[in-house]
Structure 1
Amino acid sequence: KTALQLANSETGIVQVVPHGIGFCDMTQAFGKLATSFIWSGAEMACASAHKLGGPKGVGCLLLKPGQEVTAQIHGGGQEMGRRAGTENVIGIAGFGAAAESAARDLADGKWARIEKLRNILEKALEGSGKPLISVGADMARLPNTSCFAAPGWKGETQVMQMDLAGFAVSAGSACSSGKVKASRVLRAMGYDDDVASCAIRVSLGLETTEDEVEQFATVWLAAYGRFLARKAAR
């Protein structure tokens, strides 16, 4: 059996889940897309509360009727014998409340508004005329996620400069030594290390405004312009 993310956490790209797949990680998409475990056709799936604004440290494992799992924690008979230990009742209740709230937000079109803001951001960056690679721009994606690369401008440098300007973005993945490596996701998609190491992910939230998006675009493009000027002067 194989496993697959419904939506990738770095690029936001939504993947087609083959019917009958063994396991589907729905964590990133849960609450942002109109989806259902039953629709997915997966035998098992998972989701996490914190992605919905719920409490950290609580998630759910969804099982197709008749599908069983071997307990990894033994002792009591909690959760129908699948996981021993006293349940985190407060966390579970918080997860339920967050899921109900997320369903209302989705039905009210709040994520559709965020998708429009993401498109405004990408249009502003692409319209600058500066070298830019938009990852997955022509594919189905999460409404709040944008991943793009500025060739030659290292992702970790972008993260630091945006942090100093008051914006939190992410780049690549950290290994055990604390060094930032080129994104293995982008490398698996066929991008070389030069591109994969220069990509960042920008995520928008339900409270993000158009003014904030435009401000980010202005600050990022100005910083990128300074980088290109220094590069040309070498």
Structure 2
Amino acid sequence: RSSGRKQVIASAIEHPSVLEISPDDPKISVTANGVVELESLSKILRRRGRFAVVSVMAANNESGVIQPIKEAAECAHAAGALFHCDAVQAVGRIPIDMKRLGVDMLTISAHKLGGPKGMGALILAEGMEIEALIRGGGQERRHRGGTENIPGIAGFGVAAREVQEKRLTIGQVANLIGILERRAVAAVPDAVIFGEDAPRIANTSLLALPGVDAETQIMALDLAGIEVSAGAACSSGKVGESHVLQAMGVADELGRCAIRISFGAENTLEEVDKFIEVWSGLRKRAG
């Protein structure tokens, strides 16, 4: 803040918790598959002066598309900016090595690993220093004063350890998502899988059923005991325009028909069959 630089330049598909930090600054554009365009980042850095931080997520929370973090960090550092990566959606699903990627700051969240809600971590590169978020105590290496949530921290640690132990199950999850997507397109040939041609994390699919809005899909699937969301999971129950799909150039009419499906190690092929039956039935009823 004291540098006089603008605060943050972020991609157009970041989580609102990042986008709303600096809403008026230019956003890095993405391709039709939802991949950050490095040339867009370079142009912004050249034309708009110096920024304090560039922020790009490791994998998008709606589409699951994996982003070119190493290359984006190199662009940021070449312009004299620090680089932050929101790895909440990616940790436990793809390898994350801060040093190899060149990331200065990395954020993760326990609940995405199966840990307790409300617990997160900001991981700093060696030698990196930041101002205290809450002053008045020596906790969290003087970065956040106040009594720690010991049960939450312990739960976070257990979840992180178990993710390491269960990392081989990600192949099973990827197989189920692949089966679901193939069966969805077979049942409804004009169904759209967003980010289909880009690298994606194994557990997430963003799928549109043209002609049937997301709210209708969510309600029907919920009645069948299947939980999905419209866009970001933290926006479940709210059906509105997806800023991620808008950034990808998707027409609002089609974007309103998109749902996000997430799988875990406990999901089964039988659940895929049930999803396809209920979901494709909506299209048949819609004519």
Q: CA RMSD in A?
A: 1.9
- Give the corresponding residue for 1:136: 195
2:212–2:282 Cα contact (<8 Å) kept: no
Question: Aligned-pair distance for 1:72?
Answer: 2.2
- Give the corresponding residue for 1:78: 139
Pair 1:14-2:66 in alignment: yes
**TM, length-normalised to structure 1:** 0.90
Describe the superposition over 1:120-162 as per-residue Cα deviations: whole angstroms up to 9, x where unpaired. Answer: 0000011124321110111111111111112221111111111
**Cα distance in 1 between the residues matched to 2:121 and 2:55:** 16
Q: Out of 226, 249, 261, which is 1:167 matched to? A: 226
Q: Out of 50, 63, 70, which is 2:124 matched to? A: 63
Could you tell me which amino acid in structure 2 is paired with residue 46 of structure 1? T
Aligned-residue identity in percent: 44
Count, aligned residues:
225
1:173–1:182 Cα contact (<8 Å) kept: no
What residue ranges of structure 1 are gaps of 5+ in the alignment? 230-234
Pair 1:184-2:238 in alignment: no
| C-alpha spacing 1:173/1:119, structure 2 compared with 1 (3 Å) | closer
**Cα distance in 2 between the residues matched to 1:55 and 1:166:** 23
Larger deviation, residues 97-106 vs 130-139: 130-139
Pair 1:40-2:111 in alignment: no
2:188–2:280 Cα contact (<8 Å) kept: no
Larger deviation, residues 165-174 vs 65-74: 165-174
What residue ranges of structure 2 are gaps of 5+ in the alignment? 1-52, 77-82
1:6–1:29 Cα contact (<8 Å) kept: yes
Describe the superposition over 1:21-79 as per-residue Cα deviations: whole angstroms up to 9, x where unpaired. Answer: 51100011111112222232111011011111111121111101121111121111211
Could you tell me which amino acid in structure 1 is paired with residue 183 of structure 2? A
1:181–1:197 Cα contact (<8 Å) kept: yes
Pair 1:156-2:184 in alignment: no
Q: Out of 267, 270, 282, which is 1:211 matched to? A: 270
**Cα distance in 2 between the residues matched to 1:26 and 1:39:** 14
| C-alpha spacing 1:80/1:129, structure 2 compared with 1 (3 Å) | closer
1:37–1:62 Cα contact (<8 Å) kept: no
1:53–1:98 Cα contact (<8 Å) kept: yes
